[in-house]
Homo-oligomer: A and B are copies of this chain.
């Protein structure tokens, strides 16, 4: 498995992963009804987008860049998606380590996740393991398909 820059030709491989994750409505505050074009616009809008690839298959992707413009541009943010077929194999961790390294190299002072679903244990534990702490939790801010309204963590680490 290796991580490389996203290319436009990757969308057709990544779109089923994006669709599966938003349709499940358990981890992402994205609209499950977005078309492929709308989803592509959202996913490819960050400054830098990469994919995790193995034997020519896209296993997941991450996007990263400044969390806010102007006086907030020294804090980075990132988003991650790993397809269900590849979960539990360290793809999320590899992408997480990649984005932290990328942001540090570019001189960002910190990294912030704006909306980590509190019931998404795999993500919460992974980010804590990578040095992120929970700054606060917005209660009932996410309509979870199985659990109803659950909180969204703001998570943060210095770089």
> How many chain copies?
2
Which one of B29, B135, B137, B138 contacts A69 once the chains associate, using CB atoms below 8 Å?
B29
A contacts, CB < 8 Å to B:
22, 25, 28-34, 67-75, 109-110, 112, 114-115, 134-145, 149, 152, 154, 156
**Nearest CB of B to A147, in Å:** 11
Chain B residue numbers with a CB within 8 Å of A114 are 114
**Are the CB atoms of B31 and A69 closer together than 8 Å?**
yes
**How far, in angstroms, from A135 to B74 measured CA to CA in the complex?**
22
Q: What 9 new A-B contacts, CB under 8 Å, besides A25-B70, A29-B71, A109-B149?
A: A25-B71, A29-B72, A68-B115, A75-B138, A109-B140, A110-B138, A112-B141, A135-B138, A136-B137
Which one of B73, B143, B156 contacts A71 once the chains associate, using CB atoms below 8 Å?
B143
**How far, in angstroms, from A9 to B149 measured CA to CA in the complex?**
40
Residue in B closest to A136 when the chains form the complex, CB atoms: B136
**Are the CB atoms of B110 and A31 closer together than 8 Å?**
no
**Nearest CB of B to A158, in Å:** 8
User: Given A69-B29, A69-B31, A70-B30, A75 and B141 touching (CB < 8 A)?
Assistant: yes
